């Protein structure tokens, strides 16, 4: 009898461990409430363990200034407001792609089944991230959305030849 209980306990423990492992690797998490929009590609969400910073993976939004009394990159405030209008104080789900060097969770954010990262690109308030892509993320829809937003001159693309990517703008601010 002792062996049966021990085997049953072991089997249940193994099942629970595998189930949790599957949830972890599926990339999808439970619903989180967005507590703050930091900028056009970063949000904070409330979780049971506290507040989590989410970096919207696959996109790069115009940069806010880190210096007082400086406006930041053109369209940075509009980008932040657009993202806030979509997700602030709402429950979202995320598909996680790991963490960046700053410890932020890299994720695609979904609201009512809609990919918010992709919506930011489509609206012209973010471009496709030009660095190394996240492992497993399909950027094809992002490139298509960026091409369409550019052609329609939506959001930041209205600047035409004066447009400077967030990556290039950051380089000009390091001096």
CA 29-113-80 angle, 5° bins: 85
Residue 140 has pLDDT above 90, yes or no: yes
CA 154-119-70 angle, 5° bins: 60
What is the model's pLDDT at position 101?
92
Whether the CB-CB separation of 37 and 84 falls below 8 Å is answered with yes
Please indicate, yes or no, whether the overall pTM of this predicted structure exceeds 0.85: no
Radius of gyration of the chain from its Cα atoms, rounded to whole angstroms: 20
Tens-digit pLDDT profile for residues 71-114: 889 999 999 999 999 999 999 999 999 999 999 999 999 999 99
What residues are annotated to the active site? 55, 63, 104
Residue 123 has pLDDT above 70, yes or no: yes
Please tell me the least confidently modeled range out of 2-6, 61-65, 94-98: 2-6
pLDDT band at residue 17 using 50, 70 and 90 as cut-offs: very low
Percent of the chain residues past pLDDT 70, beyond the cut: 83
pLDDT band at residue 127 using 50, 70 and 90 as cut-offs: very high
Q: Distance between CA 76 and CA 72 in Å, rounded?
A: 7
Q: Which residues pair with 78 in a beta bridge?
A: none
What is the model's pLDDT at position 12?
52
pLDDT band at residue 23 using 50, 70 and 90 as cut-offs: very low
Residue 64 has pLDDT above 70, yes or no: yes
- Higher per-residue pLDDT: 10 or 133: 133
Percent of the chain residues past pLDDT 90, beyond the cut: 70
Closest CA to 75 of 169, 152, 173: 169
Tokens of 131: 């660095």
């Amino acid at each position: 009898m002792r062996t049966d209980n021990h085997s049953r306990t072991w089997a249940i423990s193994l099942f629970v461990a595998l189930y949790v492992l599957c949830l972890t690797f599926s990339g999808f998490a439970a619903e989180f409430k967005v507590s703050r929009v930091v900028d056009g590609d970063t949000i904070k969400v409330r979780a049971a363990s506290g507040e989590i910073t989410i970096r919207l993976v696959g996109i790069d939004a115009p940069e806010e200034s880190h210096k007082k009394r400086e406006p930041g990159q053109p369209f940075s405030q509009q980008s932040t407001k657009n993202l806030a209008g979509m997700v602030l104080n709402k429950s979202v789900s995320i598909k996680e792609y790991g963490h960046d060097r700053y410890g932020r969770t890299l994720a695609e954010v979904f609201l009512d089944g809609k990919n918010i990262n992709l919506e930011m690109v489509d609206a012209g308030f973010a471009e496709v991230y030009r660095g190394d892509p996240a492992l497993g993320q399909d950027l094809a829809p992002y490139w298509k959305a960026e091409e369409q937003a550019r052609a329609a001159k939506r959001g930041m693309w209205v600047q035409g030849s004066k447009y400077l990517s967030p990556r290039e703008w950051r380089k000009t601010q390091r001096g």
